[in-house]
Amino acid sequence: MIQELSYVGFASPRFEEWRTYGPDLLGAMLKSDGPDGAIRLAVDDINYRIAIHPAEENEFRYAGWGLANETDLHAYVGQLSDRGVVVRWAEEELCKEREVAELAWFQDPWGLRHELSWGKTATPNSFQPGRVMRGGFVTRDQGLGHVVFQVPSLMEANRFYADILGFRLSDRIITDYFNVRFYHINGRHHSLALSELPGHVGFNHLMLEYENMDDLGRAIDLLKRNDTEIMQTLGRHTNDLMTSIYITSPSGLQVELGHGGLVVDDLSWVARTYNKASYWGHRYSETAQSRPAGIINPIN
Ligand SMILES: [Fe+2]
């Protein structure tokens, strides 16, 4: 089974801007560039977990999912193949670039690329936040954070992500404006969420969680300096109880910066349906109201 969101990669013409956006605003640590010139960021002692590749258009590239060990990875790849998913093992060169021991990959029904790996490289005591922070990022047994994709059909997506891949439903939020399903693979309330956007597929946002509320507050103070817009004001979500803001990034996707997310116990967890996304706050900016957020493409 998949155990964590291990890393994420996307591409953008403004990739270079992440060299400052990542450390100065988010507090991530700038690491050495990738072989194609990608900007790479660490949020803990794992050598890097976020890569922004150079490209002419904003593109989602891959979500990297971590498995516990080589036995689990091989068993899981076998299981997916039995269920009709075309899974390919990556060459040594790609494993080296991602700094993992072994890597296999597949695409979802709309072409979103997912990578499966184990043994990602860490350097103990190496993480230094890119700006003054009181704590670090919440990672460890909860992985990098969460990713949210737009999919043309939530039911079809659920068949793939839940029934075939094994993501476990945490809950749903259904309002007049959106229909979203949230999935967990460890204690983090959701490492993946899927939002319905008929006729489209997209990468909506990446969420990073701070251990300390003050580091979220500091991010808000630093927004102006980094020319970054708030897309949803500070608020608290009903389902994962995260206090967060949503901000623009140089590359189309939004970044949710949060604190205080719920940890779920899978043994007793029962999926609910909520009719509100937030207890308070999360007011949409004018830009956020005018178009759906993220790197979005019509499906062919
Ligand atoms: Fe989120």
Query: Per-residue pLDDT tens for 67-104?
Result: 999 999 999 999 999 999 999 999 999 999 999 999 99
Distance 86 CA to ligand 1 centre (A): 29
Q: CB 224: neighbour CB atoms within 10 A?
A: 9
Distance 62 CA to ligand 1 centre (A): 18
Q: What is the mean pLDDT of residues 237-266?
A: 98
Domain with CATH 3.10.180.10 in the chain: 4-118, 140-298
Q: Which residues, by Cβ under 5 Å, contact ligand 1, an ion? A: 207, 256
Q: What is the mean pLDDT of residues 198-211?
A: 98
Distance 99 CA to ligand 1 centre (A): 27
Q: Are 67 and 1 in contact (CB under 8 A)?
A: yes
For residue 177, the model assigns a pLDDT of 87
Of 227 and 279, more confident: 279
Distance 76 CA to ligand 1 centre (A): 27
Distance 256 CA to ligand 1 centre (A): 6
Distance 146 CA to ligand 1 centre (A): 7
Q: Tell me, yes or no, if the pTM score tops 0.95.
A: yes
User: Measured in whole angstroms, how far is the alpha carbon of residue 227 from the centre of its chain?
Assistant: 23
Distance of alpha carbon 155 from alpha carbon 181, whole angstroms: 10
141 pLDDT more than 80: yes
Distance 206 CA to ligand 1 centre (A): 7
Distance 3 CA to ligand 1 centre (A): 19
Distance 268 CA to ligand 1 centre (A): 23
Distance 259 CA to ligand 1 centre (A): 11
Distance 103 CA to ligand 1 centre (A): 26
Q: Are 279 and 188 in contact (CB under 8 A)?
A: no
- DSSP one-letter string for 173-226: EE-SS-EEEEEESSSBS-SEEEEE-TTEEEEEEEEEEESSHHHHHHHHHHTTTT
Q: Which residues of 102-130 are buried (b: 16+ CB within 10 A; e: fewer)?
A: bbbbbebbbebebbbbbbbeeeeeebebb
Distance of alpha carbon 23 from alpha carbon 19, whole angstroms: 7
For residue 227, the model assigns a pLDDT of 84
- The third-level CATH classification (topology) of the domain covering 140-298 is 2,3-Dihydroxybiphenyl 1,2-Dioxygenase; domain 1 (3.10.180)
Structure tokens at 166: 């094994």
- The third-level CATH classification (topology) of the domain covering 4-118 is 2,3-Dihydroxybiphenyl 1,2-Dioxygenase; domain 1 (3.10.180)
Which pLDDT band holds residue 272 (cuts at 50, 70, 90)?
Answer: very high
243 pLDDT more than 80: yes
Distance 231 CA to ligand 1 centre (A): 12
| Phi and psi torsions of 134, nearest 5° | -85, -30
Distance 208 CA to ligand 1 centre (A): 9
